[in-house]
Homo-oligomer: A and B are copies of this chain.
Amino acid sequence: MGNDFYNILKTLKLKATPKRIAIMEILADEPTYLSPDEIRSRLKGRFKNIGLPTVYRNLEELADSGIIIKIIHPDRKLYYFYCHNREHHHHFVCVQCRKVEDINFCGMEEIKNEVEKNLKAHMVSHMLQVYGFCKDCLKKQTISL
């Protein structure tokens, strides 16, 4: 039965509203990251009325709960992506076609060690993201490196 978003939302103690489920379905079907407004456009095909604040609020909640991820983009806008990999990992983001791919290297141990032993600080979170051109975009030869 594929992705059981209803039960995922239950587990997260969020009401399984049709719009919330639709947002997850849309993201899970999409191989690229999407902006809140693009997500709303897709929702318009399924719902007569849909408010942009609802989209923003749900995306924030779902990202906070960890079921979707927020892409930190150089253009400083918000983008979201559904990642099936439930392990801690990071992402390679293609700045041309918006593809997102897993990076299984993190270095968290070394970072944590540096922060806690050297700086005597407490690490709350870390972010690592890699930007570039993916395999397919390189093939298309539209980029001069």
* In the complex, A53 has a CB within 8 A of chain B: no
Distance from A43 Cβ to chain B, minimum over Cβ atoms (Å): 23
B128-A132 in contact (CB<8A): no
Q: By the criterion of a CB under 8 Å from any partner CB, how many residues of chain A are at the interface?
A: 37
Which partner residue on chain B sits nearest A101 by CB separation? B119
A105-B105 in contact (CB<8A): no
Proximity string of chain A (88-124) to chain B, C-beta cutoff 8 Å, 1 when within and 0 when not: 0000101100000101111100110011000111111
Q: How far is the CA of A76 from the CA of B95 in the complex (A)?
A: 19
Q: Which residues of B contact A134 (CB under 8 A)?
A: 119, 121
Interface set of A (CB-CB < 8 Å, partner B): 72, 74, 76, 78, 92, 94-95, 101, 103-107, 110-111, 114-115, 119-135, 138, 143, 145
